[in-house]
């Protein structure tokens, strides 16, 4: 049985483990994003979906030998998978339009605020004033990045904001599914759902050039990159599912800021992207908010241990 039950606060020790697992997942998913952003001009949006679904689902079957992938909460599992695929389509279209990696992560920093708000009615979670403050500070950082007339004030930012709203709901549903389904089941059906979405996107790719005319049989080096892309996505989503089983949404929400760090570095090294000063300033604010929340979780863990020692 999962350690985290729906609507209940997890222990400080379990929450810290959840934070560490989810943090590793964000590192891996960032590397996967770099891989697909590099490959998108070749394979297009539909190709990215197909390769993610194919390589990701095969990787999970190989890693788990097919154990634990049977769905339990089938309706929610498939609904969450479809929503996440729709979010992926928007992200890929935005990246095809030339949006920078770090810039897109900067917009995604709005997700923790939405997650904190949605966790109250959807999960019955309690959010203390310190977490409210950290998310509020993070939101102010996003506003710094979205100043009118700035580099991020563009049409595809609207698509990203829609995608971020869907991503926040998807995270909430991940927390719900963690009470009924295994991490490998949640990740497997998500990966598999990308295949029909990719096939449906093929006609769009032919009719709308910005979405990318796909080359579904790329070179050998691109093939290896796409295998890494799919497998790393699968691993990351299994880690996310486990992390959300151990820690509350409010606790993990500030980790959504961490890809900003990796995106700034990898965006410059791989793509030569240099974000605007407003993006960097806003990123510094939201990262500080996330670090503070991690500090609060460590304090909670220390206080819990002290209470246990006093009762012993």
pLDDT digits (tens, 9 = 90+) for 217-276: 778 999 999 999 999 999 999 999 888 888 877 677 777 778 888 888 899 999 998 888
Query: Which pLDDT value is given to residue 7?
Result: 36
Question: Tokens at residue 258, please?
Answer: 């961490």
Share of the chain above pLDDT 70, in %: 86
Query: Which pLDDT value is given to residue 140?
Result: 82
Question: Tokens at residue 306, please?
Answer: 């002290």
End-to-end CA distance of the chain: 27
Residue that has been written with the tokens 């020692």 in this structure: 309
Q: Which residues 6+ apart lie within 8 Å of 128 measured at CB? A: none
Provide the number of structural domains found in the chain: 1
Condensed to tens digits (0 to 9), the pLDDT of residues 38-83 reads 999 888 899 999 999 999 999 999 999 989 999 999 999 999 999 9
Query: Which pLDDT value is given to residue 283?
Result: 73
Question: Tokens at residue 297, please?
Answer: 């979780």
pLDDT category of residue 184 using cuts at 50, 70 and 90: very high
**Is 4 within a domain?**
no
Instruction: State the Cα–Cα distance between residues 136 and 158, nearest whole angstrom.
Output: 21
Query: Which pLDDT value is given to residue 29?
Result: 95
Q: Which residues 6+ apart lie within 8 Å of 16 measured at CB? A: 247, 297, 298, 301
Condensed to tens digits (0 to 9), the pLDDT of residues 120-138 reads 777 776 667 777 787 788 7
Q: At 32, is the secondary structure helix, strand, or coil?
A: helix
Query: Which pLDDT value is given to residue 3?
Result: 37
pLDDT category of residue 2 using cuts at 50, 70 and 90: very low
4 touches 251 (CB < 8 A): no
**Is 1 within a domain?**
no
Instruction: State the Cα–Cα distance between residues 166 and 162, nearest whole angstrom.
Output: 6
**Is 311 within a domain?**
no
More confident position, 74 or 278: 74
Per-residue pLDDT at 1 exceeds 50: no
**Is 19 within a domain?**
yes
**Is 293 within a domain?**
yes
Domain that holds residue 114: 12-306
**Is 2 within a domain?**
no
Query: Which pLDDT value is given to residue 250?
Result: 67
Instruction: State the Cα–Cα distance between residues 246 and 183, nearest whole angstrom.
Output: 12
More confident position, 292 or 239: 239
Three-state SS for 43-68 is HHHHHHHHHHHHHHHHHHHHHHCCCC
Q: What is the pTM of this model?
A: 0.82
Query: Which pLDDT value is given to residue 207?
Result: 60
Which whole number is the average pLDDT over 86-104?
A: 92
Share of the chain above pLDDT 90, in %: 40
pLDDT category of residue 154 using cuts at 50, 70 and 90: confident
pLDDT category of residue 11 using cuts at 50, 70 and 90: low
Strand ranges inside 54-136, DSSP E:
none
**Is 312 within a domain?**
no
Residue that has been written with the tokens 């599914």 in this structure: 177
Residue 126, Cβ neighbours under 10 Å: how many? Answer: 13
pLDDT category of residue 211 using cuts at 50, 70 and 90: very low
107 touches 161 (CB < 8 A): yes
**Is 241 within a domain?**
yes
Question: Helices 183-207 and 12-64 sit at what angle, rounded to 10 degrees?
Answer: 60
What is the pLDDT of the chain when averaged over all its residues? 83
Instruction: State the Cα–Cα distance between residues 81 and 190, nearest whole angstrom.
Output: 5
Residue that has been written with the tokens 């959807």 in this structure: 122
DSSP conformation class of 254: G
Instruction: State the Cα–Cα distance between residues 228 and 51, nearest whole angstrom.
Output: 10
Instruction: State the Cα–Cα distance between residues 6 and 174, nearest whole angstrom.
Output: 11
């Amino acid at each position: 049985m999962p350690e985290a039950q729906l609507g209940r606060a997890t222990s400080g020790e379990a929450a810290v483990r959840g934070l560490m697992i989810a943090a590793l997942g964000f590192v891996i998913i960032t590397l996967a994003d770099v891989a697909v952003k590099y490959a998108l001009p070749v394979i297009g949006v539909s190709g990215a979906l197909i390769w993610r679904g194919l390589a990701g689902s095969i990787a999970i079957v190989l890693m788990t030998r097919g154990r634990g992938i049977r769905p339990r909460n089938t309706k929610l599992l498939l609904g969450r998978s479809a929503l996440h695929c729709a979010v992926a389509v928007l992200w890929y279209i935005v990246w095809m339009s030339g949006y920078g990696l770090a810039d897109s992560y900067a917009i995604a920093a709005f997700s923790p605020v939405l997650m904190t708000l949605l966790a109250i009615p959807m999960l019955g979670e309690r959010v203390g004033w310190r977490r409210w403050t950290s998310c509020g500070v993070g939101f102010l950082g996003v506003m710094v990045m979205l100043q009118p007339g700035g580099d991020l004030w563009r049409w595809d930012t609207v698509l990203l904001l829609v995608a971020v709203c869907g991503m926040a709901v998807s995270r909430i549903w991940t927390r719900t599914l963690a009470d009924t389904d295994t991490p490998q089941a949640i990740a497997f059906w998500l990966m598999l759902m990308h295949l029909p979405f990719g096939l449906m996107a093929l006609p769009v790719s032919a009719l709308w050039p910005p979405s990318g005319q796909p080359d579904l049989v790329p070179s050998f080096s691109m093939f290896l990159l796409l295998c890494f892309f799919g497998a790393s996505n699968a691993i990351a989503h299994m880690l996310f599912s486990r992390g959300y089983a151990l820690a509350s949404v409010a606790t993990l929400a500030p980790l959504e800021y961490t890809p900003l760090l990796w995106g700034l570095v990898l965006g410059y090294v791989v793509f030569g992207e240099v974000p605007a000063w407003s993006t960097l300033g806003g990123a510094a604010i939201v990262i500080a908010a996330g670090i503070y929340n991690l500090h609060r979780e460590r304090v909670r863990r220390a206080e819990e241990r002290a209470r246990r020692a006093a009762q012993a």
